[in-house]
Structure 1
Amino acid sequence: MTSRTESPVDLRRTGFGPAPDAEAVRDGAGIARVPTPFGPPAWLLTRQADVRRMLGDADTFANGWTPDDLAGDVRRDPRQLSGDRSGNLLSLDPPEHTRLRKMLAGEFTVRRMRRLEPRIVEIVDDHLDALERSGTPADLVSQYALPIPSLVICELLGVPPGDQDEFQARTSAQLDIGQSEERRVALAAEALAYMQGLVARARREPGEDLIGMLIREHDDDLTNDELVGIANLLLVAGHETTANMLGLGTLALLRHPDQLARVRDDEDAVAPAVEELMRWLSIVSSGSPRLALRDVEIEGAAIRRGDLVVFNLPTANRDPAVVDDPERFDITRDGPPHVAFGHGVHHCLGAPLARMEMRIAFPALLRRFPTLHLATADSDDDREVDFATAHAIHGLERLPVAW
């Protein structure tokens, strides 16, 4: 029998916000040594200026490290969960990262994403129709928040409709950091095998999807492993993040009915609301641990060459040095900076797509069901809400609603 593992400090969450131990670091020294699943401890960064500095300096803080680069007793090789990192932009450094991202960047511009807008509107309307037919109570996560971005990214990558349910279940399990190491390694291998089959079919008959485009336009510049890795990363990252934002964001709006009404009734309020939801929720708690390539000092701490560095985005996005009254959810804020999409060379490639999906899906839901409310005994009690606290991407297990 395998046992569930405890979440690392940089991934722990409490309700909508950061975990108290991460907040305590930010409000104290700003940096602390914390244990890691890899063996050697890491430096935890919690303040926005420090997180931006680290993420913006790929020459000092590297992604592409191996256990051979670490000092001390190494318990886990990160390649167990990510293969050899081929095509996985989140685990690569320039110039390899730059070469692959350049091939993809043109497909994720705001202008290119607008071509998808009519189809996203259609997908959203179809799921609203299905919600209305099914009646109340309904689970907003499984019936709305999860399937919409899943269908969008699957169509973008050319995943057959019949494979989508299996893909959703496997991806959710992969991101459950409470799963045993053995289970997560097995799931990663299953995902890789699926992607290898998907790419093989696309090579035989390239479609108009993103994988087909990469094969037609960049086949000579991409290895098969890189193409598989790119597809695997986009499929996982492209749906779980937005799905959790739609579920958790709806709950946040329901808890703030005056601001919900603005999102529902005022088109100009939607875009600022999405940015405030990104900041306040910070569903991606952290990212790949970095390896210091040289000695550097942060917040008075001496980080040595070979040390691991991790970071906490929820504490950075609620940093009182950057945001006034940061614990308050307020969609009328004048765009305070946030790092919910990351920063630097690894700033989220799919940010324009995620923003578009949220700007369509939130107001559409609230306008279709203007009396939407939680179907729980006490709508203000967090104990009646199933937060997905053991997942690498923060969200909800389910969200019972009625109208």
Structure 2
Amino acid sequence: MRTVMGESLHAVTTMPTARQPGCPFDPPAELVDARRHGPISGYAFPGGQPGWLITGYDLVRSVLADSRFSSRKELMLHPTIDYGDIEIPPAPPGEFLLMDEPQHSRYRKPLMGKFTVRRMRLLTERVAQITADHLDAMEKAGPPADLVTAFAKPIPAIMICELLGVPYQDRKSFQEQVDSFMNGETSDEDLIAAYTATQDYLAELVATKRANPTDDVLSDLTDSDLTDEELKGIALILLAAGLDTTANMLALGTFALLRNPEQLAALRADPALADRAVEELLRYLSVAKTFMRTALEDVEVGGQTIKAGSPVILSYHTANRDPERFTAPHVLDLHRQDGGHLAFGHGIHQCLGQQLARVEMRVAFPALVSRFPTLRLAVPPEGVSLRPETADIYGVKSLPVTWDA
């Protein structure tokens, strides 16, 4: 058994797949317990490959910034699936999230100027209009409503479709395809079909933009030396990063506020609190729960030697609840002073679209709670349908709400 300074190293044998009843915002209890034993644990991957689980804030952050750990798809193992003798292929062209340098920068650099803080803030007025339109529709239809379909999904979906230049008439079917391969519940057969259909659509969209550019990010990129196949991969990454994460933050964040009425009241009383509220909700919820890395050489981490080729699970949601980094980490506190969460990652792979996500949430949360001062759950809290822990992005499947009309 591996040891830390003479003591046996805590080991996790299976990745937890369920949250505690009544605690939909807290990480699975087994992961919290692993963090209590220390910031790094042994992990037995399916198929018998030994690896590591890192749950502490400082160690997760250090690995994310360390080029000795790879993001390459072909080096990854899945925490819960045994692929046996199947050889994992490299990431397709353009999907830079699963690449190392220098390929990663080749795809990311052309995008960086499109997602600056200043440029994203210029989109605030458009986000506000989209938000107001959907709040108007909710109010007109009257209570109750499913906040996921009426509010949380449409706002980021419209924004990402506009950024990519998806024609208006295609957006509904396009969003349905994307949801099918990202919700964590679609059958393997349907997931592959939806993923293939989305890739086919993006290939057609790239060809259209190259022939007839419009005012959008994808058209801008056709002036570069990137091939159509590379542009398709970039579009898929932007889509995955810009739609599902923000949609689930808006829905799960509203659920968390409704379960913490004093925090909801604070935001409603002071819309200027929105910036801090968004950062705290990002930390508290950590909807992008875990990421993988693989050691390229022997690396010393937390008193342990991680051997070359060893897979490592980085637990964002326990890192963002680390009591050595955050005061009362399991408490949602919109006035929190100790920021610096890892919800968008860290290092060269830090989320490119984080400023857009922030703009959307800073506009949407205050607008929602101000428009509906009596907003509340329409079902008991335990009746809210949650996404499975196996989904890449955590959240709620539906959030029935009501208010005094």
Structure 1 position 24, deviation (Å): 1.5
Structure 1 position 178, deviation (Å): 4.8
What is the DSSP-based 3-state SS (H/G/I as helix, E as strand, rest coil) of the residue aligned with 2:282? helix
255 and 65 in structure 1: CA distance in 2 versus 1, 3 angstrom threshold: closer
Q: Which amino acid aligns with 1:402?
A: T
Structure 1 position 127, deviation (Å): 0.3
Structure 1 position 277, deviation (Å): 0.2
Structure 1 unpaired stretches of 5+? 1-7
| Pick aligned residue for 2:315 from 296, 300, 312 | 312
75 and 43 in structure 1: CA distance in 2 versus 1, 3 angstrom threshold: farther
| Pick aligned residue for 1:252 from 248, 252, 256 | 256
Distance 1:35 1:187 in 2: 32
13 and 350 in structure 1: CA distance in 2 versus 1, 3 angstrom threshold: farther
CA contact (8 A) 2:327 2:338 kept: no
Q: Which amino acid aligns with 1:24?
A: D
Q: Which amino acid aligns with 2:31?
A: A
Distance 2:194 2:95 in 1: 16
Structure 1 position 203, deviation (Å): 1.1
CA contact (8 A) 2:274 2:366 kept: yes
CA contact (8 A) 1:385 1:399 kept: yes
What is the DSSP-based 3-state SS (H/G/I as helix, E as strand, rest coil) of the residue aligned with 2:397? strand
| Pick aligned residue for 1:129 from 123, 126, 136 | 136
Structure 1 position 180, deviation (Å): 4.8
Q: Deviations over 1:259-290 (max 9, x none)?
A: 11221221321111100000000000012x21
Q: Which amino acid aligns with 1:337?
A: G
What is the DSSP-based 3-state SS (H/G/I as helix, E as strand, rest coil) of the residue aligned with 2:335? coil
Distance 1:75 1:277 in 2: 41
Superposition TM-score, scaled by structure 1 size: 0.89
Structure 2 unpaired stretches of 5+? 1-13
Structure 1 position 174, deviation (Å): 1.4
1:21 aligns with 2:30: yes
1:210-359 equivalences under 5 Å are 210-216=217-223, 218=224, 220=225, 222-287=226-291, 289-359=292-362
Distance 1:274 1:68 in 2: 32
Distance 1:375 1:385 in 2: 9
Structure 1 position 69, deviation (Å): 10
Q: Which amino acid aligns with 1:228?
A: K
Q: Which structure is richer in relative contact order (CA contacts within 8 A, separation 6 or more)?
A: 1
Distance 2:100 2:180 in 1: 27
Fraction of identical pairs, as percent: 44
Structure 1 position 236, deviation (Å): 1.9
CA contact (8 A) 1:43 1:310 kept: yes
Comparing 184-193 with 269-278, greater Cα deviation is found at 184-193
Q: Deviations over 1:49-101 (max 9, x none)?
A: 1110111012x10112526999x98455554xxx7431112101111111221
Q: Which amino acid aligns with 2:401?
A: V
Q: Which amino acid aligns with 1:232?
A: L
CA RMSD of aligned residues (A): 2.2
1:397 aligns with 2:397: yes
Q: Report what 1:9 is aligned to.
A: 15
